[in-house]
Each structure stands twice: as C-alpha cells, then as structure tokens.
C-alpha cells in the first residue's frame, strides 16, 4: 500500500531520503491547436556551476491536449510521481522542482521552484541522510558466566 | 454541366491554423432532383509556386451527406502551412486512396483558396501547485 503525506505548497520545504518517492501537481493554462503528443515533465534538480538546473530524477507523462482556441483551457495534471535514486544524492543538500511542457507547437515552456528562480527563490526539497538500518536483531545464545 | 449541384453554405475561412479542425458544410443534390450523391470529397490541393500542377500534393477528405435534403459536412485538419485550393467534388464511386490519375467527377463546388499558418501554442501560468513525499510502499 502506498500513502501520501500531507501535500505541501510552495515555498514549503519537504524532507526526503534517497530512494524514496516524491510527487507533484502541475497546472497550466493552454491556448493553441491540439497537441496529441504533449509531454509534461516533472523533475527534481540541483544547482551546479555547469548546469543551473541539473536534473537528478524525473518523470515524463504524455498528455494529449485538445484543440483550445483563445481563451484556452485550464489543465490540472494528476499527481506525477518521481522515484529518487538511492545513491548520488548527498545528505544535507537542497533541491528544487521543475515542470516542463513540450511536444506542442512552438517552444517548450518551463517553470522552476529553486534558489535562483522566481517567484519563490528558495529550495524546497531537503535530502536527509540515510539512516543506518538494523534488522534481524536478536539474542541468539546466552550462557551463565 | 454538372450532374450534381454542390452549394457551400459554410466555406473555409481564408486563413486557418495547422492542427486545428475545420468543417466545410453545404448541400449537394442531383440536378433537378432531391437527394444527395453517395460520394462527396473535399479535394485539397497544396499550391507550391515551384511545383507544376501535376506534382502538387492532392488529398481527399471524405464527406457524408444526409439522405434527405443533401446537407453534407466534411472535416479537414490541415497538417502543413501553405496555400491550398479546396473544392468539394462528387464522384459516382468511392475514391480509393491514393488516387491515381483523374477521378471521375460528376459535380464540383466553387473553389476555396485557403492559407494555413502555424500558430505557436501558449502555456500560461505554468506552476507546480503541490508536492509531497510519498511514504509507505
């Protein structure tokens, strides 16, 4: 069984351990011709000198958008779930989320929530250290000393 | 003289958008009689100035007429930008595509000149409204 904790809204910070899943809801207004192959991408990213939006994990969904003349339609996606890698996410670092719409006529559209990105200018995901796990703990034998 | 009279009541706009659906509506009747012909098509010719007529791209979109009155509707969704000439034609038999040679035409409408344009989509107010860590599993 999978259960979700309370949904946070920007710019709330959530804490997650490597290997866990996060989920996000993407919304937008669309004006334009039908886009049967529209792709919605949700990704968790970090900042590096080489890449300001270095994706660490992502999920893409194909979402056919109907013909939408002006004033367009409002689209609210079902929650998109991202599986985080078990390694390569150092504890104590913070991350942002990005949403991207592509596969439509014209350019791609992107929005970010992160330290250098409006409108929140704040990291929203904090990666926790992986806690050591002890399993099969038992007293296997004992004797009088 | 055409055996079938085709009158367009809803012509295509002069400018249409690639990827969007349009309807051509009209009435088709046998000359002097009531009732439509069984086979109606929109003949769509892409006009490229550098191509001779014999090399022009021509496609056919099937239309359906109401048995009484002869009202018909044909849907067209342009896929490329450019200039087109669209004519509704009636044929005595179904056209098998691709059409080779000149199909027999027993009636045709006035020609409609149409320009198709690419319109860039707009995504407004794109945002991530909620997020969470999933627990369990």
Q: Flag if A111 and B128 touch (Cβ within 8 Å).
A: yes
Q: What is the pLDDT of residue B125?
A: 95
Q: Flag if B129 and A101 touch (Cβ within 8 Å).
A: no
Number of domains in chain A: 1
CATH superfamily, domain at B4-117? Immunoglobulins (2.60.40.10)
What Å distances lie between residue B32 and B2, B3, B62, B66, CA to CA?
11, 9, 24, 17
Average confidence (pLDDT) over A103-128: 91
What Å distances lie between residue A75 and A26, B75, B110, B127, CA to CA?
8, 26, 41, 11
Q: What is the pLDDT of residue A49?
A: 86
Q: Flag if B131 and A2 touch (Cβ within 8 Å).
A: no
Which among A26, A29, A97 has CB closest to B124? A29
Name the minimum distance, in Å, from the CA of B18 to any CA of chain A.
Answer: 7
Consecutive H or E run containing A82: strand A80-83
Average confidence (pLDDT) over A123-138: 87
Which among A10, A107, A124 has CB closest to B120? A107
User: Of chain B residues 42-81, which have a CB less than 8 A from chain A?
Assistant: none
Closest alpha carbon within chain A to B16: A33
- B123 — contact with chain A (CB < 8 Å)? yes
pLDDT category at A3 given cuts 50, 70, 90 is: low
CA–centroid distance for B60 within its chain: 7
Q: What is the Cα gyration radius of chain B? A: 20
User: Domain coordinates of chain B in residue numbers?
Assistant: 4-117
- B15 — contact with chain A (CB < 8 Å)? no
Residue A4 placed within a domain = no
Q: What is the mean pLDDT of each run of 10 residues along chain B (137 residues)?
A: 85 90 89 68 89 81 83 91 93 65 78 92 95 79
Q: Are strands A94-102 and B58-65 parallel, antiparallel or unpaired?
A: unpaired
Residue A137 placed within a domain = no
Chain length of chain A: 145
Residue numbers in A near B17 (CB within 8 A)? 33
Interface test with A, best of B16, B119, B125, B130 (most A CBs within 10 A): B130
Contact (Cβ atoms closer than 8 angstroms) between residue B125 and residue A72: no
Contact (Cβ atoms closer than 8 angstroms) between residue A104 and residue A49: no
What ipTM was predicted for this assembly?
Answer: 0.85
Mean pLDDT, all residues of chain A: 90
Residue A90: CATH number of its domain: 2.60.40
Sign of CA dihedral B120, B125, B130, B131: positive
Residue numbers in B near A30 (CB within 8 A)? 121-124
Q: Which domain holds residue A82?
A: 14-127
Q: What is the pLDDT of residue B137?
A: 42
Residue A26 placed within a domain = yes
Residue A56 placed within a domain = yes
Closest alpha carbon within chain A to B21: A67
What Å distances lie between residue A140 and A48, A136, B54, CA to CA?
49, 10, 90
Residue A144 placed within a domain = no
pLDDT category at A75 given cuts 50, 70, 90 is: very high
Q: What is the pLDDT of residue B35?
A: 62
Q: Which residue has the higher pLDDT, B99 or A92?
A: A92
Average confidence (pLDDT) over A34-61: 93
N-term to C-term CA, chain B: 75
Closest alpha carbon within chain A to B17: A33
Residue A143 placed within a domain = no
Q: Flag if B134 and A3 touch (Cβ within 8 Å).
A: yes
Q: Tell me how far apart the alpha carbons of residues A29 and B127 are, in angstroms, rounded to a whole number.
A: 10
């Amino acid at each position: 069984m999978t259960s979700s904790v309370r949904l946070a809204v920007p710019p709330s910070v959530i804490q997650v351990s490597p290997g866990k899943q996060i989920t996000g809801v993407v919304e937008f207004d669309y004006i334009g011709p039908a886009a049967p192959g529209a792709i919605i991408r949700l990704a968790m990213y970090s900042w590096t000198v080489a890449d300001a939006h270095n994706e660490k994990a992502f999920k893409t969904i194909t979402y056919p958008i109907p013909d939408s003349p002006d004033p367009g339609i409002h689209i609210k996606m079902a929650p998109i779930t991202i599986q985080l890698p078990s390694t390569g996410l150092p504890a104590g670092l913070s991350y942002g989320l990005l949403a991207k719409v592509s596969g439509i006529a014209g350019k791609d559209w992107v929005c970010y929530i992160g330290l250098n990105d409006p409108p929140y200018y704040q990291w929203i995901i904090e990666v926790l250290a992986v806690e050591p796990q002890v399993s099969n703990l038992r007293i296997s034998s004992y004797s009088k000393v | 003289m055409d055996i079938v009279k085709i009158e367009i009541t809803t012509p295509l706009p002069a400018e249409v958008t690639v990827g969007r659906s349009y309807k051509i509506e009209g009435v088709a009747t046998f000359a002097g009689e009531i009732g439509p012909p069984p086979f109606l098509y929109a003949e769509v010719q892409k006009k490229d100035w550098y191509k001779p007529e014999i090399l022009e791209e021509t496609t056919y979109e099937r239309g359906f007429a109401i048995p009484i009155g002869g009202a018909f509707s044909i849907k067209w969704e342009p896929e490329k930008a450019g200039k087109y000439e669209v004519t509704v034609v009636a044929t005595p038999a179904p056209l098998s595509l691709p059409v080779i040679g000149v199909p027999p035409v027993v009636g045709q409408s006035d020609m409609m000149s149409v320009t198709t344009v690419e319109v860039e989509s707009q995504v407004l107010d794109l945002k991530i409204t909620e997020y969470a860590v999933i627990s369990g599993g």
